[in-house]
Structure 1
Amino acid sequence: MRLARRLATLSAVFGLLTAACSAPTTGTPAPGDAFVIGLSSEFDTLNPVMGYSPDGGSLIYEGLMSREPDLSMKPALAATAPVTSADGKTVTFTLREGVKFHDGRPVTAADVEYTYEALLEEANNSPIRGDYTAIEEVAAPDAKTVVFTLKHPYAPLVQRTTLGVVPKGSPLTGDPPPGAGPYRFVSRTPGDKIVLEGNRGYWAGAPAITRLVLAFAEDDNVRAARMSAGEFDATILPPKAAARFDGQPDITVHRVPSADYRGIMFPLKQPVTGDRTIRRALSLAIDRGAMVDTILAGAGRPAFGPVSPDTAWHNPEVTGPAAGDPEAARKLLQDAGWKAGDDGIRVKDGRRAEFSLMYPAGDTLRKELALAVASDARKVGVDVRLAGLDWDAIEPRMSEDALIMGWGSPYDPDYVNYELFHSAYAGKGFFNPGGYANPKVDELLETGRASGDEAVRRQVYRDFQKIVHDDEVWTYLVFLKHVYVIRGNPAGVRPGVDAHEHATGGLFRDIHTWRPAS
């Protein structure tokens, strides 16, 4: 699930951008033309304090640090890498000279201090506040120095400083405040698009693409059709929907590795989905290899846990049979007292092995995964009833019905996992919606967050992965490759390893550096 998830349905399918963009381009547009990106999700907010693109890639805002495609950190608003004290509890940044917000005001340490203090202020109710609770205080002793004082050593702190900085005193509602990123905000039409304009005074150089339109189209097929019609210059599509663009002249398709997974989130207080035997049997029954080959058209890999095998934090013990083991699933159910009824569906103590599995109706990939799950489940005697709904209908049902859900991060394992599996977040929206509570997992997550010892942290997160795998909190299905379709073949496109949140992150995080192909 995204923090920047879909909020509104498009009012029409075609022709929404005729006033915003010129005729279809054949590559990176000339100055003055709009480059139109088709996105599947609208943003909850455009304010970093309230959760907009905290991991970089917002395009409007600049953080103290930014990420390279290989996930290494580099200074952005900071002039150099920060200095950390010997006890790990004080981290000091020195700001770059001459950087200005879009309205011409200089970026100062007071702005950084305000941004983080506003985020940490409990009354502001920022949805990402929990990611920054290790911070005791942020101080600005002078205009160019920012000092973070931590409650305890917090290894991911530098990675967290990709958060965009806003001017001191900026309101948290209404139009977004000015940033210092490569694009400035021009306008927003809810349910339709956001228009951005290149920042000619950007400290790292003005973008070659001088006008950017972020157009929202939740339905995968609609985005594919609009890309074909020339209304989009770039979009993100499920692998099968993107296949039509392979080999087309003047179209480039990038399949980018990611830590982005899809899996089944189970409500753990319900009688059927709360039975670990049911969950474990379902995991054994599923043919993940077939999902990768058919639904993902090869653009992905089987998933068995929340940490990607493409990252150094992965525990290799967290694995399973890619093709599934339905015989083992049947035996597991039979031994636990789930006996096959006349219709083949298993029953225990008068209760049928059945539950509802929701998915967002406009997401064709999740729909196909749900269909495959239901098919494999029926073969072992579990009846999975599918429900394609919009997010407004899904959210209030997550404590009762299972959901094809997505998360995943290639960054520090504290990211996402703390909120998804710590009992303190049980039932808080899209964080831990199934209500998982395991004191040992809580202890591990707290130790991993507080420790400054890399060896300790590596063992902590290996143990954490093993427990949530054995508890079968989720049934993980696949890690995706994100498929980007781009008109032309601009220079400067730098694939890396994507996170789940990839709206203007991912491949688009560097769009301000793209240039027409020579």
Structure 2
Amino acid sequence: YLDVQVDPVGSGPFRFDAYVPGVRLEFSANNGYFLGAPAIKRLSFPFVGSETDAAQALVDGTNDWLPGLDRSIYDQIKDDPELRFVEYLEPSFLGLYFNLHPESDALFLDRNLRQAVAYCLDKPATVALATHGHGAPIYSEIPPVSWAYPAAGLKTYPRDQVMARRLIEASGWTTGADGIYEKAGRKLATVVAVRSGFPQRSRWLALLGDQVRECGIDIGYREVGFAAIVAMLDVYPHRNAAEPALGRPFDAYFGGLTVGRDPDPFRLYHSSECSTAERPSTFNHICYANPAVDRLIEAGLVTFEQAERARIYQQYAVLQSDDLPVLYAWSDRLRDALRATVGTTATGGLRLDTPTWFREGEKLTNVR
């Protein structure tokens, strides 16, 4: 029989030659490739024992490509003039989710308060500090490189403390003796659950807390284990894992999700996916519900032509940025490292902003 693991069948620009277990994979040019014979005649993928060894092989010229570059390694080799780096955003996002369940009495049911939090935050600076430059600020779950990302119209909430206070006071809150707003005996204060073991997330929340306090809002955070986060999100009415003794639903929590290349926010943000006592673990844990957004999400699922789908999802993203059910924080930057000798004959040259920089494999070059 044919074992496709060691004798694969394909029609790409390179032919499989050999697999030496634990040592390397070897490929040679497919000169009969329908888009033309590759410029590179051989490819060799060695198995390397550690990230450090792989980086050293790249730096000394033994290897030409190191995908999925570790952040600490990048910091060590980023200034090497013999290297260049492909940089792109991970298809995922992190953000501060606001509880919008009408029955929850959660603090941020009022859109004015959600927007006030956003206006208090210098997002680009906060992301840069929290991630040590390894994250990029985002304003939608749709990746900026996507065909569905809006070219204009997204609300980005540049830092404006005056606007933040104006929104808070428009909703009837007044400043208390400690500088924190209050209304009907309730403080504009909460504690947010965040998963432990991810220091950049805690740093972001600490920086957020410092900035919103200047606007009269008190947002603290508490690190909790993964099991506690799952229990909070999967068990209705989603009691705050940061303050379990109170037994109240969370006001906000910090977390994230991976997204697909093709936008489909139905499970995340369609009102039919709001969690309930009968369906406690749907993905719309926060119960974001907007009929106009629902209609756009539904239209996106039954529309085939990409330009029209782009228009639909761009409208969706703009509407959502005004509702602000989630204060999007950042997406992680991912990097591949290349020797400067690697190039391409493709129109426009080698793209250094996409994980598929090598897509036209037959046009890759390596002049050593």
Bin for the TM-score computed over the shorter chain: 0.5 to 0.7
CA contact (8 A) 2:300 2:313 kept: yes
Instruction: State the AA in 2 paired with 1:245.
Output: I
Provide TM-score, normalisation by structure 1. Answer: 0.49
Which position in structure 2 is the counterpart of 1:91? none
Structure 2 CA distance for partners of 1:252 and 1:262, relative to 1, 3 Å: same
Q: Compare 242-251 and 389-398 and name the one that shifted more.
A: 242-251
Cα deviation code 1:432-475 (max 9, x no counterpart): 33232333322221111112244543332233123212221111
The answer on 1:245 being equivalent to 2:245 is: no
- Listed one character per residue, the Cα deviations across residues 84-105 of structure 1 (whole Å, up to 9, x for unaligned) are xxxxxxxxxxxxxxx9721659
Query: Whole-Å Cα distance in 2 between the matches of residues 467 and 196 of structure 1?
Result: 53
1:261-300 to 2 correspondences below 5 Å: 261-269=93-101, 270=104, 271-291=106-126, 294-295=129-130
Distance 1:460 1:475 in 2: 21
Contact 1:261 1:406 in 2 (8 A): yes
Matched, 1:471 2:323: yes
Tell me what 2:268 maps to: 420
Assess, with a 3 A threshold, how the Cα gap between structure 1 residues 242 and 470 changes in structure 2: closer, same or farther. same
Of the three residues 289, 297, 306, the one matched with 1:437 is: 289
Amino acid aligned to 1:101: V
- Calculate percent identity across the aligned residue pairs: 20
2:80 and 2:162 map into 1 onto residues whose CA distance is 44
User: 1:347 is aligned with what amino acid?
Assistant: E
Q: How does 1:138-153 map to 2 (within 5 A)?
A: none
Deviation by residue 1:109-161 (Cα, 9 ceiling, x = unmatched): xxxxxxxxxxxxxxxxxxxxxxxxxxxxxxxxxxxxxxxxxxxxxxxxxxxxx
Asked whether the 8 Å contact 2:296–2:316 carries over to 1, the reply is: yes
User: In the TM superposition, what is the alpha-carbon distance from 1:418 to its structure 2 partner?
Assistant: 2.6
Distance 1:342 1:486, change over 3 A: same
**2:5 aligned residue (102, 124, 127):** 102
Q: How far did residue 319 of structure 1 move?
A: 2.4
Q: Tell me the CA shift for residue 362 of structure 1.
A: 3.2
Select the structure that is richer in helix.
Answer: 2
Contact 2:351 2:357 in 1 (8 A): yes
Q: Give the Å deviation of 1:350.
A: 2.1
Tell me: CA distance 1:326–1:182, structure 2 relative to 1, closer, same or farther (3 Å): farther
| C-alpha contact 1:345 1:383 (8 A) present in aligned 2 | yes
Residue pair 1:258, 1:497 contacting (<8 A) in 2 also = no
1:106, CA displacement in angstroms? Answer: 7.0
* CA distance in 2 between partners of 1:259 and 1:246 (Å): 23
SS of the aligned residue for 2:190 comes to strand
Aligned positions of 1:194-233 closer than 5 A: 198=25, 208-211=44-47
Instruction: Return the TM-score normalized by structure 2.
Output: 0.66
Instruction: Determine if contact 1:425/1:432 at 8 Å carries over to the other structure.
Output: yes
Alignment counterpart, residue 450 of structure 1, candidates 302, 307, 311: 302
Change (3 A) 1:395 1:514: farther
Alignment of 1:12-411 (within 5 A): 101-102=4-5, 198=25, 208-211=44-47, 235-237=68-70, 242-248=74-80, 253-256=85-88, 260-269=92-101, 270=104, 271-291=106-126, 294-295=129-130, 302-315=137-150, 316-322=152-158, 324-398=159-233, 399=238, 400=250, 401-408=252-259, 411=261
Alpha-carbon offset, residue 335 of structure 1: 1.7
Q: For structure 1, list consecutive stretches of 5 or more residues without a partner in the other structure.
A: 1-98, 108-180, 187-194, 216-222, 499-504
Cα distance in 2 for partners of 1:245, 1:183 equals 31
Report the CA distance shift for 1:434/1:364 in structure 2 as closer, same or farther (over 3 A): same
Distance 1:487 1:453 in 2: 36
After superposition, what is the alpha-carbon deviation per residue over 1:335-384, rounded to whole angstroms, capped at 9, x for unaligned? 21222222222222222222233334333432332222111221112221
Cα distance in 2 between the residues matched to 1:336 and 1:395 = 33
Equivalent residue letter for 2:165: R
- State the SS of the aligned residue for 2:287: coil
Larger radius of gyration, structure 1 or 2?
2
Amino acid at match of 1:346: Y
Ranked by relative contact order (alpha carbons within 8 Å, sequence separation 6 or more), the top structure is 2
Asked if 2 retains the 8 angstrom alpha-carbon contact of 1:227 and 1:234, the reply is no
Q: What's the RMSD between the two structures over aligned residues?
A: 4.5
Contact 1:102 1:199 survives alignment (8 Å): no
Corresponding letter in the other structure for 1:266: F
Distance between the aligned counterparts of 1:325 and 1:434, measured in 2?
26
Match of 2:244 in 1: none
The number of aligned residues is: 315
